[in-house]
Amino acid sequence: MSLTDSRILPNLYDGLATPPLLSPALTPATRFTFPSRSSISIGALTPRSTNVSTPVSSPTVHRSVNGQSPLSSSLIYPSAPPSTLVDLPIGSLQPAQLPPPAKLINAHRLTNGNTPKFETDSLTRELKGKMPALSHLLSVGSGRGLSIVADEKHIYTGCQSGDNEITVFSRTTLQPMYRLMGHEGSILALLLIKQKGWLVSASSAGDVRIWSTKTLELMYIIHPCDDTAGDVYSLAWDEREGGTLYLGSQSASIEWVNFSGPGPVRRRRVSAASASTVEVVPLGQNSVDPVQDRPGPSQRTGRYKPHHFFSNPPEGASCSGSGASTPRSPMMSGTPNGSSRREFFTSADLDKLSLNERAEHPATELEIGAESRIAFAHYGYVYALEMINRPNGRKWLVSGSGDSDVKIWDCAPGGGLSLVKTFDNLPGGVLSFAIRDSLLYAGLQAGEICVWDMETGACIRTIEAHEADVLSISVLGGDVYTSAADGRILRLNAEFDCTAVWKAHSGTVMSTVIASSTRKGGWELITTGSDSFVKIWNVDLPKAHNHDSEVDVEGEGDVMLYALSKLVAVPTVSDDAHRESCRQGAHLLKKILSQLGANSEVLSGEQGKNPLVLATFTGRDTGKPRKRLLFYGHYDVQPADEEKWETNPWELSGRNGYLYGRGVTDNKGPVLAVACAAASLRQRRELDVDLVMIIEGEEEAGSRGFASTVRKHKSDIGHIDAVLLSNSTWIDEADPCVVFGMRGVVYAKLSVSSKDEDLHNGVDGGATTEPMFDMVRVLGALSDKDGVKVPGFYDTVRAPTDEEISFLKDVSAASGRNLEELIRVWRQPSFSIANIVSSGSGNKTVIPKKVSADISMRIVPDQQLDDIVRDLKQYSKTVFKGLGSPNSFEIQVTHSASWWLTSLDSPYFKALESSVQDVWGVKPLKIREGGTVPTVFWLEKEFGAPCVHLPMGQSTDAGHLANERMRLLNLRNGKRVIEAYLTRLASI
C-alpha cells in the first residue's frame, strides 16, 4: 500500500529484516475493524485501570519453547478509516495545531469502590501552547530516515536505501555534506558518544560500526556473539572504565563490549571487504544536487530481506519546484557522464577534506564473546535501551522488548548486567524510552505511553496518546515530545497535559532528537520519517514547573522561605487519595536538598506506602574523622478542611509576623530550617560534620514501613553518632525549650462477640447476655479513679529526682501550668478509652451482636513495653473469663512504642541547650512531653546513638488544626540554632 495511506502501518521493526512473523492463529480473516475516531476513548490513568479496554487487539507474544530462539511479538494492525488530517505542505513553516487524539479523554477516577466517575479535569488535558515552527526541510532522497542524532556541527541520519548510508548534514549550511557507507542493512539505531567523539551505528545486517565525528573515518566494526544477533535495534553507553557499549538485538539478547582494553573480544584489522567509504556529496549550481533514482535495497545474502513496506518511495518524496532554497537529496548513483560529479573517499583520502585531526588508531574489528552477553534477556526483540545515572556513580540499563516487558539492570563498571526489577504485562511491545528527571517514559505499540517513577518503581501514568506505535520520545526540560507511526508528534508538559499536537510527517515519524539551536539560546526538535524528509522544528525550553523550580542558594536568607512555599504547595497528605502528591513532594524535597548541596535520593517505601528522602550534607575534610548527625523529619501532613482556613492551606502566606500553610510547623518548616543551616555552613566552608537527613512520608499515618526501609538502606546511611529531631512545639509562646523525654504508647482493640445476630431488646432483652455489658465490665476492671488496675502496672515507674522536680517547677512558673498536672501528663502513665463501636444500627432498641473498644495506654520510664503488652492481654482475658459469659473475647495490640528519655549529662544534649541559649539569649526550658514520636526510641536503639529533640514552634501553632502557622522569627532562629549546634558537634 502507499505510504500516503493513513491506515495504521504494519509492524515497522519486523519488516526491516524479515517478513512479519505471524502466529498461525492470526490469519487475515481474524483482523479487527478499527473503530471510528469518534468512538475511541483514551485516558491517562494512574495507575492504569484494568477496566478500561484498549480498542486494538493484544499482541501475540512468541516465547521460547524447548530451547528454540524466541520471536518478538507480532502485531496485525487493524484497518482504519481514512484520516481527516491534512498533511503539512512542503515549505510550510508553521504547522496547524491539530485537535488532540480522540484517546485523550477525561480520566477515570474511582469513587466509593469500583464505580468510575468522569471528572472535568483530566489527568491528560488539552492545553494548547505555543506551536513549534518548521524552520527547514532536508531530504535524504529516495531513502527513508530510520534514525537520527545531532551534535554541534552535524545532523546524522541513518537510512534504509540502496546503499544504507548515513547522511551527514551540516548544522550551519543545512546542506548534505557526506554519506557514510559500508553497512549492508538499514541503519536502525544511531548513538553519539560526545566524550569519545564517536558516532555509533547499528544495522539490520547485524553489525555495529563506530565512526569518528572529527574525521568521519571508520574506527571499529563490532560483530555480536556468534554473528547470530540478527537486527541490532538499540544502543546504550556507560562511560565508566573506558566505556561500555550495550547492544539490544533481534535475538532477544543484550550484549556489550568494553573499550578499556582488548578484554575477552577478538581484534583484527578491518578486511578490504568490510572497509567503509565516505562519499562527499557534490553540489550543483545553487547548491542543489540533482535527484537520481536509486536501485532497490541491497541485500546481505541469507540475512537481509526488506519488508514490502519499504518497497516503494512515498508519494511526493522529492521537493517540488526548483529546490533552489532547499538542498536536494545526495547523489546516490553515478552520473551519466562519468564520475567527475561524484567522489568517494577511503580512510586515506580523508586528509584531503577540511576536517579536524585524524583518529588515533586504525579501524578494528571486534567480536563479542559469549561471556559478554545475556542470552534471552527478553522473550522478544530488544527494541529500546536507555542508560540511567544512579546515586554514588552507579548505572542502570533499562531494556524494552516486544515481549511487553521493561527490565531494569544494574551495570557493572567495565560491562556486565544483573537484573534489578521487571515491569511486565504491559499492553504492548516496548519501542522507545526517554528519561525526565526521575521518570521513565516508555513508548508502546498501539500508542500508549507508560510512565514510571524510577526511585520507587511505581507506574504513575498510562497515557494513551497515539493511535499507532510510539517510536521515539525526546525530552526538553519539563516537556516530552512523543512521536508515532501515525505521523503525529505530541508535546506533554510536566503535569502530563497535552500542550501541542501536529502532523509532522506524511508517513511514519521514525526518530527524533532534541539539540541546541545554532541560534543563541534556542532549541530544535529534529525529526526523520518514512517520507524521506528530515525536518527541523524550533521549540522553546519550558518554564520551570512550580513543583520543580530550582532553588537559588545565593542569598540564603530568602532561600528557606522560597523552598518552603514550594513544598507547602504540594498537598502531601498521607492517605491513599494523595499518593501521587506525596510522590511529587518527595521528589521536590529531594531536588531542593540536592540544590542546597546534599547528595540526596528518594527511597521506595513498603508496597503502597509513601517514599522516603535520604540526603547527606558532607562536611569539609579537617584531617580527622567527622561526627555524623542523623536528622529525622517528615514531609507528610494532616488533611486540611479548607472551609475553616482564612487562607489557602496549600499556599504559604505571611500575616503579622506568622507564616500560614499546612505543614509549615509540622514538619516542613523545621526540615528546611535544618537543611538550610547545613547549606549555609557549607557555603561559608564551616561545616565540619556530616548531616544525614531521613525524611519520611508516613509519620502522620503511624510511620508505616519506616523501620523496614531504613534497615534496608542502613549501609547507605552509615555510622551515626547522634540523632536530632524537631517535631513538636514550645510549652508556651515566649520560652524556647528543649525536650528530654516522651511517654511511650500502647494501642489495643478489645472485641466482644455473640453467636447470635443483632437482637431486639423488646423481644430478647433480659434473655441474652449482651456483649455491651461484657465490654463495660472489662473496661471498668482495667481502670478506675485510682488509675490502671493491671497488676504490677506501676511497679517499675521511675521515681522523680530532685533535679527533675526543679526543672518541672521552672516550667510551671514560666508557663503558668500546675506542677501536679505536669507530673501527671509527663511523668505518670495513663489509660484512655478512645471509642466504643457496635454492630448495631445505633437504634436504641437494638442489642448489638459485637462491640469493640479502642484503648490507649501511655507508659513512662522504666516500664518495659513487652511486659506491659503481655500483662494487658493476660489481665483482660482473665477478667472476661471471670464473667462466665457465653460470648467470645479478643484483644489485639495495634501499635506500640517505647518511652524515650535522654541523659541530661549527654554532651549532645548540653550542646543543643547551649546552642539555643546562644541564639535566643536565655536558657531554654527543659521539658518532657506526654505524647509519643515512635521513631525516636527506635532510631536511638537502631543506630546506638543518643537522641536530642529541638522544638521550634510555639504552643499555638495549631499543627493539626485549621490555620496552621509558625512565627517567622522562630523559623529563622531555629535555623541559627541548628547552625550553632552543628558547629558545636565538631568539637565533641
pLDDT value of residue 763: 67
pLDDT value of residue 759: 77
Rounded mean pLDDT, 234-241: 96
- Split at pLDDT 50, 70, 90, the class of 870 is very high
The burial of 36, by beta-carbon neighbours within 10 Å (0-12 exposed, 13-18 middle, 19 or more buried), is given as exposed
Among 653, 494, 693, 658, residue whose Cα is nearest residue 569: 653
Instruction: Supply 418's cell numbers.
Output: 544483573
Say yes or no to pLDDT of 2 above 80: no
Q: Report the range out of 269-283, 329-343, 707-721, 828-842 with the highest average pLDDT.
A: 707-721
Pairing of strands 187-193, 722-725: unpaired
- Report the CATH fold assignment for 744-794+829-898: Alpha-Beta Plaits (3.30.70)
Distances (CA, A) of 490 to 84, 93, 101, 447: 17, 18, 9, 11
Say yes or no to pLDDT of 552 above 80: no
Active site residue 699: yes
The three-state DSSP-derived secondary structure of 171-207 is CCCCCEEEEEECCCCCEEEEEEECCCCEEEEEECCCC
The three-state DSSP-derived secondary structure of 590-601 is HHHHHHCCCEEE
By the 8 A CB rule, do 153 and 319 touch? no
- Split at pLDDT 50, 70, 90, the class of 95 is low
Q: Which residues contact 752 (CB under 8 A, 6 or more apart)?
A: 771, 772, 774, 775, 778, 850, 851, 852, 880, 885, 887, 888, 889
Q: Report the range out of 319-323, 331-335, 860-864 with the highest average pLDDT.
A: 860-864
Distances (CA, A) of 520 to 150, 523, 534, 768: 17, 9, 22, 88
pLDDT value of residue 438: 85
pLDDT, one tens digit per residue, over 785-798 is: 999 999 999 999 99
Is CATH 2.30.30.100 what the domain over 133-280+364-539 is classified as, yes or no? no
How far is residue 182's CA from residue 363's CA, in Å, rounded to a whole number?
13
Q: Please tell me the total number of residues recorded for the chain in this structure.
A: 988
Rounded mean pLDDT, 561-571: 93
CATH 2.130.10.10 in the chain, residue ranges: 133-280+364-539
Q: Report the range out of 145-159, 280-294, 550-564 with the highest average pLDDT.
A: 145-159
By the 8 A CB rule, do 903 and 738 touch? no
Say yes or no to pLDDT of 58 above 90: no
Say yes or no to pLDDT of 714 above 80: yes
The burial of 271, by beta-carbon neighbours within 10 Å (0-12 exposed, 13-18 middle, 19 or more buried), is given as exposed
pLDDT, one tens digit per residue, over 628-649 is: 999 999 999 999 999 999 999 9
Among 876, 836, 835, 832, residue whose Cα is nearest residue 858: 832
pLDDT value of residue 523: 93
Q: For the chain, how long is the longest CA-to-CA vector?
A: 117
pLDDT value of residue 282: 59
pLDDT value of residue 657: 87
Instruction: Supply 216's cell numbers.
Output: 568521519
Question: Per the residue annotation, which of 699, 774, 913, 964 is the catalytic one?
Answer: 699
How far is residue 467's CA from residue 755's CA, in Å, rounded to a whole number?
59
SS3 category, 715: helix
How far is residue 329's CA from residue 310's CA, in Å, rounded to a whole number?
18
| 521-528: Cβ within 8 A, 24+ apart | 523/476, 524/135, 524/150, 525/132, 525/474, 525/476, 525/481, 525/489, 526/148, 526/150, 526/155, 527/148, 527/483, 527/489, 528/140, 528/145, 528/146, 528/147, 528/148, 528/157
Say yes or no to pLDDT of 678 above 90: yes
- Split at pLDDT 50, 70, 90, the class of 61 is very low
- Report the CATH fold assignment for 560-723+901-920+929-947+960-986: Aminopeptidase (3.40.630)
Question: Per the residue annotation, which of 636, 690, 957, 964 is the catalytic one?
Answer: 636
Active site residue 540: no
Rounded mean pLDDT, 65-70: 33
By the 8 A CB rule, do 208 and 202 touch? yes
- Split at pLDDT 50, 70, 90, the class of 279 is confident
State which amino acid sits at residue 655.
Answer: R
The three-state DSSP-derived secondary structure of 459-503 is EEEEEECCCCCEEEEEEECCEEEEEECCCEEEEECCCCCEEEEEE
Distances (CA, A) of 575 to 581, 636, 701: 10, 9, 8
pLDDT value of residue 96: 65
pLDDT value of residue 361: 54
Among 928, 684, 734, residue whose Cα is nearest residue 821: 928
- Dihedral, CA atoms, 810, 812, 813, 815, nearest 10 degrees? 110
By the 8 A CB rule, do 753 and 660 touch? no
Instruction: Supply 794's cell numbers.
Output: 506501676
Mean pLDDT, the chain, as a whole number? Answer: 79
Strand partners, 830: 858
Q: In 504-623, which ranges are E strands?
A: 509-516, 523-529, 533-539, 599-603, 612-617
How far is residue 279's CA from residue 290's CA, in Å, rounded to a whole number?
16
Q: How far is CA 463 from the centre of its chain?
A: 15
Cis preceding-peptide flag for 667 (omega within 30 of 0)? yes
Say yes or no to pLDDT of 327 above 50: no
- Split at pLDDT 50, 70, 90, the class of 549 is very low
More confident residue, 20 or 588: 588
More confident residue, 301 or 407: 407
More confident residue, 720 or 7: 720
How far is residue 127's CA from residue 108's CA, in Å, rounded to a whole number?
19
pLDDT value of residue 99: 73
How far is residue 12's CA from residue 529's CA, in Å, rounded to a whole number?
12
Q: Within the chain, how many helices (H) and strands (E) appear?
A: 14, 55
- Split at pLDDT 50, 70, 90, the class of 127 is low
pLDDT, one tens digit per residue, over 183-236 is: 999 999 999 999 999 999 999 999 999 999 999 999 999 999 887 779 999 999
By the 8 A CB rule, do 783 and 793 touch? no
How far is residue 605's CA from residue 610's CA, in Å, rounded to a whole number?
6
- Dihedral, CA atoms, 816, 822, 826, 829, nearest 10 degrees? -150
Say yes or no to pLDDT of 567 above 80: yes
Say yes or no to pLDDT of 4 above 80: no
The burial of 351, by beta-carbon neighbours within 10 Å (0-12 exposed, 13-18 middle, 19 or more buried), is given as exposed
CATH 3.40.630.10 in the chain, residue ranges: 560-723+901-920+929-947+960-986
pLDDT value of residue 81: 32
- Split at pLDDT 50, 70, 90, the class of 308 is very low
By the 8 A CB rule, do 192 and 208 touch? no
Say yes or no to pLDDT of 83 above 70: no
| Torsion sign across C-alpha atoms 540, 545, 548, 554 | positive
pLDDT value of residue 141: 87
More confident residue, 769 or 982: 982
pLDDT value of residue 767: 66
pLDDT, one tens digit per residue, over 359-413 is: 445 678 899 999 999 999 999 999 999 999 988 889 999 999 999 999 999 999 9
**DSSP H or E stretch at residue 258:** strand 254-258
Instruction: Supply 812's cell numbers.
Output: 510551671
Q: How far is CA 868 from the centre of its chain?
A: 43
- Split at pLDDT 50, 70, 90, the class of 86 is very low
How far is residue 555's CA from residue 557's CA, in Å, rounded to a whole number?
6
pLDDT value of residue 687: 94
Which region, left, alpha or beta, applies to residue 407 given φ > 0 means left and ψ of -120 to 50 means alpha? beta
Pairing of strands 479-484, 115-118: unpaired
pLDDT, one tens digit per residue, over 29-42 is: 222 222 332 222 22
Q: What angle, rounded to 10 degrees, do the helices at 556-568 and 579-595 form?
A: 170
How far is residue 144's CA from residue 9's CA, in Å, rounded to a whole number?
15
Q: How far is CA 324 from the centre of its chain?
A: 48
- Split at pLDDT 50, 70, 90, the class of 335 is very low
Say yes or no to pLDDT of 63 above 70: no
